[in-house]
Structure 1
């Protein structure tokens, strides 16, 4: 066996025997069963159409997902379906002579600091509503439901108008901490009590993955293996 082949064999063996600290997907939940203690609120609901289970309904409140020991990594990707339910008013305070029931805003923050999304959403077809998403709340306005993957497919309504939309959201961000806290929240400008009777939200199909980095010991073993194989061997005297 020549030296090049030996070195290649050692590197391959080390690569498969010394795993990354935690690779790929670290969390998934479609809420077909209980949400789990990792969630600060565990309320689940089923959509009137399609019987889709999801986390919610929520109003003016925050829901936190806390994960511990997700391993060595330098980047996280979080993907989920956002359900915007009933008469979200986007960004049109006082539209058509109505009271200022907007903007209705959804947030997602990381570890209590980094904001991944802060944007308004609108469902109210009767007002010709606008929203900021896919722009940030301070960005330009676009027609309501812009960027939605589904409109009026879940069976929610208010005042005779079917009003719901689904957004497939995904965010990738730098992250190195062994733990992760994601806070999902909304601020809804609504006078109805309870607020969820008129405006609410939920999430579904949560998937979190990391970009892993090797354990430090991996590099050491690679190095020692290469040195050992490259050192000339002394012949034994007979």
Structure 2
């Protein structure tokens, strides 16, 4: 009986993420036509954790045709920061342009008349936008503070009618296990992060009961 109890406890301890990961926000959006703006989101009283994961969709509306300062327009920059540590890149409406330094080259451009464009949550004044679905496939950072400050920002942009941006479907989670947290993949696709583990736990219960019945014979 002791062996069964210890085995069951060991198996539970090996289940990834049980009571060790936590959602901070799910499906946050700001789909206004933002320009040289800053979005700041602060989380406080976080539980014990060692990592944080971020996922979101990024929209770049209209021209985004800035170049370096030797030309007539300044470079268009977009970035985000975690507790003041920034990740920032130059963006261009043509992602193959030398002026574009962002790490995600998987975006798609949509124009007025496209079904996706017509149903998007953003406004384009010139009739097109570039869409980054789950920008960079998410980000995982080491983090153990009881507060978390996220900022999203841009600079070098012109008017909202010419160059703007928006974020959609922002998901943030913490965990004490980097492998498990990263293994969740795109957090946007996970409604209940620990459902598989919980189902596995319940699947073990009949086996434990069977061993108990045998031990009584």
Q: Same fold (TM over 0.5)?
A: yes
Q: CA deviation at 1:184?
A: 0.4
Residues 177 and 59 of structure 1, relative CA distance in 2, 3 Å threshold = same
Unaligned residue ranges in structure 2 (runs of 5+)? 112-116, 178-217
* Number of residue equivalences: 162
Gap runs ≥5 in structure 1: 32-53, 136-145, 214-238
State the alpha-carbon separation in 1 of the partners of residues 170 and 153 from structure 2: 15
Contact 1:86 1:200 in 2 (8 A): yes
Q: 2:90 aligns with which of 120, 133, 147?
A: 120
Q: Does residue 148 of structure 1 match 2:118? A: no
- Match for residue 148 of structure 2 among 155, 159, 180: 180
CA distance in 2: counterparts of 1:203 and 1:4, whole angstroms: 52
Counterpart in the other structure of 1:134: 103
Match of 1:86 in 2: 62
**1:57 counterpart = 2:16:** no
* Aligned match of 2:164: 200
| Larger helix proportion of the pair | 2
TM value normalised by structure 2:
0.63
| Structure 2 Cα separation of the partners of residues 129 and 86 of structure 1 | 19
Q: Which protein has the larger Cα radius of gyration, Structure 1 or Structure 2?
A: 1
Distance in 2 of aligned mates of 1:121 and 1:196: 16
Moved over 6 A (4+): 13-16
Counterparts of 1:15-54 in structure 2, within 5 Å, are: 20=19, 23-31=21-29, 54=30
- Look up the match of 2:214: none
Measure the CA separation in 1 of the matches of 2:152 and 2:68: 23
Offset at residue 24 of structure 1 (A): 4.1
Aligned CA-pair RMSD: 3.0
- Asked which structure has the greater RCO (Cα within 8 Å, sep 6+), the reply is 2
Tell me the CA shift for residue 104 of structure 1: 0.3
Tell me, yes or no, if the aligned pair for 2:49 and 2:174 is still in contact at 8 Å: yes
Label 1:165 to 1:23 Cα distance change in 2 as closer, same or farther (>3 A).
same
SS of residue paired to 2:144: coil
Evaluate the alpha carbon distance shift between residue 82 and residue 5 of structure 1 in structure 2; reply closer, same or farther with a 3 A threshold.
Answer: same
TM-score normalized with structure 1 length: 0.58
